[in-house]
Structure 1
Amino acid sequence: MNISGKHERTVAEVARRECALLTKLATANRRSSVYRHHLFFRRSRHAVQLARKCYNAANPKLQRCDERRQSAALLSAHRALTKAVEHCTAELAANRIDTIALCVAFIAILSRLGCCIGKTILLGGGAARLPELRPGAHACDPGAARGPQPPPGPPPAARQGSLGGVLRALRRRQRPGGDPDGRGAAL
């Protein structure tokens, strides 16, 4: 990686600690067998595996490969972390009492790990690749420059009367005797 030595060691150390922490949390008390069918659990473990590959000091393949492959691995890990946090948030929204604490812990760990990967991308000269993290975020939208456009098709009929035409509709429903329902006098 093209990062200064001190920052590289610090970021890599924090990332390795976070990977180990999530792995330990996922395997303690046989959680992996209990939560293996939950999507947030699977996505989180996959994201940590990708991040671990990026920061594995004993990975000679990553050390030998070119800058393009390194940045692709980092971007892939960052996208996987983002998806994992989204799935953890969705699990929190489901409000299941048995997964709330685990989801909050996973979100905290995955967020710190995402910060490490983002820092590595920035320190490694990957600021030019940041639009690749969220492809739709920096896309040039010609429609946005023009401002809001009216919807296609004929314009809606003009509302007459007050309250968006409610009074007009009531007048139409009223019967000649002043009884809007036609049921007789009010109770």
Structure 2
Amino acid sequence: MVQVTFKQNPVTLPGKEVQVGEQAPNFTVLANDLSPVSLEDTAGKVRLISVVPSLDTGVCSLQSKRFDQEAASLGDNVEVLTVSADLPFAQKRWAEENGTQGITLLSDHRDLSFGEAYGTTMQELRLLARSIFVIDDKDQVAYVEYVPEGTDHPNYDKAIEAVKALTN
């Protein structure tokens, strides 16, 4: 079971910890126009899924900007998705304010479908724990990082290396 803290306080992550080599669980989240989006909608592509508690915080904003900048160099067969429990309207505002173009922002606020499927829901906060998942074009999990302290950055380089290993 994954052990995560948020501001040094332990949080409960119900759901199953996703492991490398497993079939990626499906989920349904919302796009910024409130349309449903699932893992199946990006079938056949490599997916880098960056999970953040809230785009309106410093580390989450920096994480999302970093992957937005990296997205262009990853090629057309890679989708970079950022998932949070922020409302779709807040995500859209953040994207407009930050001029993002390489990432797709998705909201898990309605059902916590992603959080439950990937074991990232912080039960006490109803936010998602910072984590990274890389899924190959056949829906197999190739890389997983659950960041132990929710206010720390993930290992950007390892996540990008995992994506590049699947596309070279």
Q: TM-score, normalised by structure 1?
A: 0.25
Hey, which of these two has a bigger chunk of strand by percent?
Answer: 2
More helix per residue: 1
Q: Comparing both chains, which one has the higher relative contact order based on Cα–Cα distances under 8 Å and sequence gaps of 6 or more? A: 2
Give the greater-gyration-radius structure (CA). Answer: 1
